[in-house]
A = this chain, B = another copy of it.
Amino acid sequence: MEFKFSDNLKNMKPSEIRELLKYATNKNLISFGGGMPNPETFPMADLKTIMDDVMDQYGSIALQYGNTGGLNELRTEIVRLVRETENIKSSESQVLVTAGSQQGLYELSKILVNPGDSIITEEPTYVGAISAFDANEADMHSIPMDENGLKTELVEAEIKKLISKGKKPKFIYTIPTFQNPTGVTMSLDRRRHLIEISQKYQVPLVEDNPYGELRYDGERIPALKSLDPEVIYLGTFSKIMCPGLRMGFTVAPESFISRVNLLKQALDLSSSTFSQFVAWQYLARDEVKKQIPKTIKLYRRKRDTMFKALEQYFPDGSSWSKPLGGMFLWATVDSRINTTDMLQDAIQDGVAYVSGNAFSPARAQANSMRLNFTFSEDEQIYEGIKRLASVLEKKMSVLQPQ
């Protein structure tokens, strides 16, 4: 049988990150590629206790089918979580539990985008968002960022241009805090401006906030959702508990949530009931409040280790972002180097990263790369950056014969 596939995945390529995970089992390879939390942060003992208690107290319902929108008790705890951490006011009917925030990204683009519809993203942006938007055939218009985040004047100009062509974008997608892949955080002024634009042109604003709790320096900046209740907000348990239970959530106006609910029935009926019971108890017992400070302490050290290694080893002419939180930094190298082409050499020399263009709807990040600093051991961070610097120098020596 030769399968005749539909057209809707035509723009999709296998995700470089997911392909790289295959290499992550190679003991000699140091990977800065994956977006993986450090397992040291997983609240192993607490989760084991919670799982036992869930089985003892709720087994027959925790192993059964559940409501599509999510366990009510968990939604109540999510309402509390976003209020306590991000000052977001919401109610249970505005919350939908998702299989990680990846499912939230797929759902929102599926219910808002007809094939060919325009959307606005950051340039560069999260590779998983690109694959969700590609699967729903969105026409991505990516807008450059600087050290204050998305350049909102350019967002407004692009929206005006698209409206004049009858192609008003269906939404604006941003990761305003410790952005993936750049690590950059949007300033408060820019946040206010973006909300103003969203309201003025009636273009929904999507705030993806997986890293908001992982701040290592500086003052918290308010979430977009805390400034405008109309924002579609995506959250996840992957960084404040663990990724392996695939727990995330969307907080949005009720009219939006009920539409997602309809889609989710078709996607998977509901997220794992058992995972939801575990996440509920994890929040209800306030384990998350023990976990976050430990995680921050570990990741701050790892980030600083990577900073030091980069300063020590990386060749002149390279630069990198100085994230105040999150899991990634963004390194930019000699403009003649193509990091996609270089990846195979790097892997051969025992170090991996994700190349800039994997994050670039505009394919405009050829000489950049994303480096994850949360997963590797401290010594591996040193050794990996040293290896990467040596690969770079070899490439540059060919480019610039002495």
A interface with B by C-beta (< 8 Å): 1-9, 12, 14-15, 18, 21-22, 34-37, 39, 42, 44, 47-48, 51-52, 55-56, 59-68, 99-100, 102-103, 106, 110-114, 117, 128, 131-132, 134-136, 170, 198-199, 202, 204, 230, 238, 242-246, 253, 255-256, 259, 261-263, 265-275
A135 to B400, CA, bound (A): 55
- In the complex, 24 of the A-B residue pairs with CB atoms within 8 angstroms, ordered by the A residue number, are A1-B202, A3-B255, A4-B112, A6-B110, A6-B136, A18-B269, A39-B63, A44-B55, A47-B63, A48-B56, A63-B243, A63-B244, A64-B244, A65-B243, A100-B269, A103-B268, A106-B268, A128-B266, A128-B269, A131-B265, A244-B272, A244-B274, A246-B270, A246-B271
Known A-B contacts A102-B268, A263-B135; A243 and B9 likewise in contact (beta carbons under 8 Å): no
Residues from chain B with a CB closer than 8 A to the CB of A267 are: 99, 102-103, 106, 132, 135, 267
Residues from chain B with a CB closer than 8 A to the CB of A198 are: 1
- In-complex Cβ contact of A3 among B63, B67, B259, B271 (8 A): B259
The reply to whether B63 and A44 contact each other, CB–CB distance below 8 Å, is yes
Task: Tell me how many chains of this kind the complex includes.
Answer: 2
The reply to whether B34 and A59 contact each other, CB–CB distance below 8 Å, is no
- In-complex Cβ contact of A170 among B4, B14, B15 (8 A): B4
The reply to whether B9 and A111 contact each other, CB–CB distance below 8 Å, is yes
The reply to whether A268 and B99 contact each other, CB–CB distance below 8 Å, is yes
- In-complex Cβ contact of A253 among B1, B22, B128 (8 A): B1
The reply to whether B64 and A243 contact each other, CB–CB distance below 8 Å, is yes
A5 to B6, CA, bound (A): 22
Closest B residue by C-beta to A99: B268
Known A-B contacts A64-B243, A65-B244; A135 and B275 likewise in contact (beta carbons under 8 Å): no
Residues from chain B with a CB closer than 8 A to the CB of A117 are: 6
Q: How far is the CB of A21 from chain B (nearest CB, A)?
A: 6
- In-complex Cβ contact of A64 among B5, B36, B134 (8 A): B36
Known A-B contacts A6-B110, A66-B244; A265 and B14 likewise in contact (beta carbons under 8 Å): yes
7 tightest A-B contacts by CB? A39-B60, A244-B273, A63-B242, A63-B244, A135-B266, A99-B268, A1-B230
Closest B residue by C-beta to A170: B4
The reply to whether B262 and A9 contact each other, CB–CB distance below 8 Å, is yes
Q: How far is the CB of A399 from chain B (nearest CB, A)?
A: 34
The reply to whether A246 and B266 contact each other, CB–CB distance below 8 Å, is no
Q: How far is the CB of A64 from chain B (nearest CB, A)?
A: 5
Closest B residue by C-beta to A246: B272
Residues from chain B with a CB closer than 8 A to the CB of A273 are: 243-246
